[in-house]
Amino acid sequence: MSNGPNTFDIVILAAGQGKRMQSRLPKVLHRLANRPLLEHITRTLYELIPDKKPIVVYGHGGEQIQKTLGHLSVEWVLQSKQLGTGHALQQALPYLQSPQVLVLCGDVPLISGDTLKKLISTTTVDALGLVTANFPDPSGLGRIVRDEAGHVQDIVEEKDASEKQRKIKEINAGIYFFPTELIKKGLPTIENNNAQQEYYLTSILSQAIQNKYPIHTIQPNAIEEVQGVNDRIQLSHLERYLQKQLAEKFMRQGVTLSDPARFDVRGDLSVGQDVTIDINVIVEGYVKIGNECVIGPHTVLRNVILGDRVEIKAHSIIDGAEIAADAIIGPFARIRPGTVLASRTHVGNFVEIKNSNIGEGSKINHLSYVGDSKIGKQVNVGAGTITCNYDGVAKHRTIIGDHAFIGSNTQLVAPITIGEGATIGAGSTITRDAPPNQLTLCRTQQRSIPHWQRPQKKEE
Ligand code: UD1
Ligand code: CA
């Protein structure tokens, strides 16, 4: 960008409560795509201007904000009483060092890097830059009042606006590029004689006009970029908008989505080529999907790495797992954190796996619980197998060697080791280690009672 990072400071106003959210949570901690509103803005800024730490004016719910967002690389400045946007920016004045300052609102989360770049690069050092947009329904927002020649004359809040001014569709986005000198001189003198008795940042405009600073306006590419979040309805609209943007981004990267409106990404997703994703798939946390994977409908992928050609069938929940190439999972599988599945593993319906390593080509196809286990290669785990890993106090491990065969309905009481090539007879409760290459079983002998008669119901 033509303006170097040292020619301007950045301030994000985020001290307000957000009354209309009807929430105990400060507004900027509400989430879009599972990321706090404030973090959307800081991420956009880091991408655009990586070497500049934004100043965040915080206040309402300060402790909560710093607890949740303490990891952000920002300077925190406290506004202990929320007396208005002008008062908020005033708190940051002592920290401003550059000739210009970019001001953003913590509750306008989806402003794009492109729009900010345009604002920064087209506003000259002596001018006041404003982002405005024409809203079909501008209610609740500050209106841009222009004279007949089209010059900006004023910004009027809805509550202070005349009947005629309320009809104006052009709104103030709350995103500004100021000459630092203007606000250093002007902010301490603004007054709160308005409907809300607040110190409005927008009051600085009349001073700018009086002092002959040119007013320069730019518009974003999409109005959603400057839509504020004041209530949960607006939050939900922006969530849909953001999800649509994300879906389109992944389709452009070569992903086939059965329905972009039924695909939700709430984290960081990276995808290989020719991935197919069916409806109602939710992606959370850090997820990496290899080439040619097929993700079935109604699945959740949370903190997952998938190798190439993995197939996840319908209704599976995969959480905290690494799954290697050519594995087939589900339908109705639940994979829990700490699980590593090697290539060509098969995990079928109603199988739960937690904190376990499953070797290449092994199969656990039906109705099983495998926890805290290490299973070798080419093992067959029969239907209804349960690793009894918990004795009420501690968790214990189950080790199963390569090529073992675990008969159906087996309980493996951990800690226990099943040797390589061992076979476990169906219906066994195994409490001691089973040697390699032998049949081990543990069940009472079958017998038949001849001439036995079922009890009969008496006729009345
Ligand atoms: C503000 C603008 C309005 C604009 C709209 C765009 C003013 C007076 N009005 O109105 O022209 O159309 O944004 O979304 O500026 N904040 C503080 N401390 C305070 C008050 C607010 O930090 O004392 C922060 C809030 O956390 C929020 C931002 O400033 O992130 C905007 O405040 P808000 O009260 O939402 O202003 P609006 O009424 O939306
Ligand atoms: Ca607002």
Are both 218 and 236 inside the same structural domain? no
**pLDDT (average), residues 256-278:** 98
Q: Measured from the CA of 199, which atom of ligand 1 is nearest?
A: 8
**Same domain? 347 vs 416:** yes
Distance CA 203, CA 206 (A): 6
Measured from the CB, is residue 79 less than 6 Å from ligand 1? yes
> Given this model, what pLDDT does residue 4 score?
57
Mutation choice for ligand 1 from 85, 166, 194, 227, CB with most ligand atoms inside 8 A: 85
Bridge-based pairing of strands 170-179 and 100-105 is antiparallel
Q: Within a domain: residue 101?
A: yes
366 given a catalytic annotation: yes
- Per-residue pLDDT tens digits for 4-21: 556 999 999 999 988 999
Q: How far apart are CA 320 and CA 356, in angstroms?
A: 11
CB-ligand 1 contact for 83 (6 Å cutoff): yes
- What is the CB neighbour count within 10 angstroms for residue 259? 13
Ligand 1 centroid–CA 67 distance in Å is: 23
Q: How crowded is the C-beta side of 52, counted as CA atoms within 13 Å? A: 24
Q: Do 371 and 254 belong together in one domain?
A: yes
Tell me which residue has tokens 């029969």.
382
What gap in Å lies between CA 300 and CA 318, rounded to an integer? 6
Mutate to test the pocket of ligand 1, among 76, 89, 105 (most ligand atoms within 8 A of CB): 105
**Spatial separation of the C-alpha atoms in residues 20 and 208, rounded to whole Å:** 32
Q: State the CATH number of the domain containing residue 351.
A: 2.160.10.10
Instruction: Tell me the C-alpha distance between 261 and 240, whole Å.
Output: 8
Residue 402 resides in a domain: yes
DSSP lists the bridge partners of residue 10 as 102
Backbone φ and ψ of 235, nearest 5°: -60, -45
Domain annotation covers residue 70:
yes
Contact between residue 172 and residue 144 where contact means Cβ atoms under 8 Å apart: yes
Instruction: Answer yes or no: is 65 within a domain.
Output: yes
Is residue 364 within 8 A of residue 382, CB to CB? The reply is no
Residues bordering ligand 2, an ion, CB closer than 5 Å: 107, 228
Cα distances from 262 to residues 234, 258, 279, 281, 289, in angstroms, run 19, 8, 5, 7, 18
Residues 113 and 88 in one domain: yes
152 shares its domain with 250:
no
* Ligand 1 atom, smallest distance to 57 CA: 22
Residue range of the domain that includes 291: 232-440
Query: Is the pLDDT score of 1 beyond 60?
Result: no
Domain co-membership, 180 together with 257: no
CB neighbours (10 Å) of residue 314? 17
Q: What is the pLDDT of residues 307-338, one digit of tens each?
A: 999 999 999 999 999 999 999 999 999 999 99
* pLDDT above 80 (res 371): yes
pLDDT at 200 over 70: yes
Task: Give the domain-ending residue among 193, 226, 259.
Answer: 226
Atom of ligand 1 nearest to the CA of 157: 11
The answer to whether residue 99 sits within a structural domain is yes
Whether the CA torsion 51, 87, 41, 299 is positive or negative: it is positive
Whose structure tokens read 């959370």?
284
Residue 446 half-sphere exposure toward CB, CA atoms < 13 A: 1
CA–CA separation, 65 and 58 (whole Å):
8
Residues in CB range of 123: below 8 A, 6 or more apart: 100, 129, 177, 216
Task: Quickly list DSSP for 226-283.
Answer: G----SHHHHHHHHHHHHHHHHHHHHHTTEEES-GGGEEEEEEEEE-SSEEE-SSEEE
CA of 281 to the centre of ligand 1 (A): 36
At 5 the pLDDT is 56
Q: Is 417 in the pocket of ligand 1 (CB under 6 A)?
A: no
Cα 341 to middle of ligand 1, angstroms: 50
3-state secondary structure 171-187: EEEEEEEEEHHHHHHHH
CA distance 39 to 161: 33
Give how many domains the chain has, as a whole number: 2
Distance between Cα 11 and ligand 1 center (Å): 13
| % of the chain with per-residue pLDDT over 70 | 99
Query: Which residue would you say has higher pLDDT here, 443 or 243?
Result: 243
Shared domain for 124 and 273, answered yes or no, is no
Q: Is residue 452 part of a domain?
A: no
Q: What is the mean pLDDT of residues 188-201?
A: 94
User: In whole numbers, what is the pLDDT of the chain averaged over residues?
Assistant: 96
Indicate the residue among 207, 226, 245 that finishes a domain: 226
Judged against a pLDDT cut of 60, whether residue 3 lies above it is answered with: no
Q: Do residues 414 and 380 both lie within one domain?
A: yes
Which atom of ligand 1 approaches the CA of 59 most closely? 22
pLDDT tens for 204-255 read 999 999 999 999 999 999 999 999 999 999 999 999 999 999 999 999 999 9
Looking at the domain assignment, is residue 458 inside a domain?
no
Q: Are residues 295 and 210 in the same domain?
A: no
Closest CA to 28 of 92, 72, 94: 72
pLDDT tens profile 60-72: 999 999 899 999 9
Question: Is the shortest distance between the CB of 217 and ligand 1 below 6 Å?
Answer: no
Residue ranges of alpha helices (H) inside 301-412 are none
Count CA atoms closer than 13 A to 120's CA, side-chain side: 25
Task: Pick the range with the lowest mean pLDDT from 59-68, 284-293, 415-424, 430-439.
Answer: 59-68
From CA 446, how far away is CA 100, in angstroms rounded? Answer: 88
Does the Cβ of 401 fall within 6 Å of ligand 1?
A: no
Q: Is residue 379 part of a domain?
A: yes
Give yes or no: residues 206 and 260 share one domain: no
- Tens of pLDDT, residue by residue over 338-359, are 999 999 999 999 999 999 999 9
State both tokens at 457: 């119901």
Average pLDDT over residues 403-430: 98
Q: Which of 216, 298, 366, 396 is catalytic?
A: 366
Look at residue 6 in the predicted model and tell me its pLDDT: 67
Q: Which two tokens stand for residue 310?
A: 């993995």
Determine whether 265 is exposed, middle or buried from the number of CB atoms within 10 Å of its CB (0-12, 13-18, 19+). buried
Closest atom, ligand 1, to C-alpha of 230: 35
Q: According to the model, what pLDDT value does residue 17 have?
A: 84
Same domain membership, residue 398 and residue 303:
yes
Q: The tokens of 249 are what?
A: 């981004």
Final residue of a structural domain among 226, 241, 257 = 226
Ligand 1 centroid vs 2 CA: distance in angstroms? 29
CATH code: domain of residue 92: 3.90.550.10
Distance, in Å, from the CA atom of 424 to the CA atom of 253, rounded to the nearest integer, reads 48
Report the C-alpha gap between 185 and 157 in whole angstroms: 23
The answer to whether residues 236 and 222 belong to one domain is no
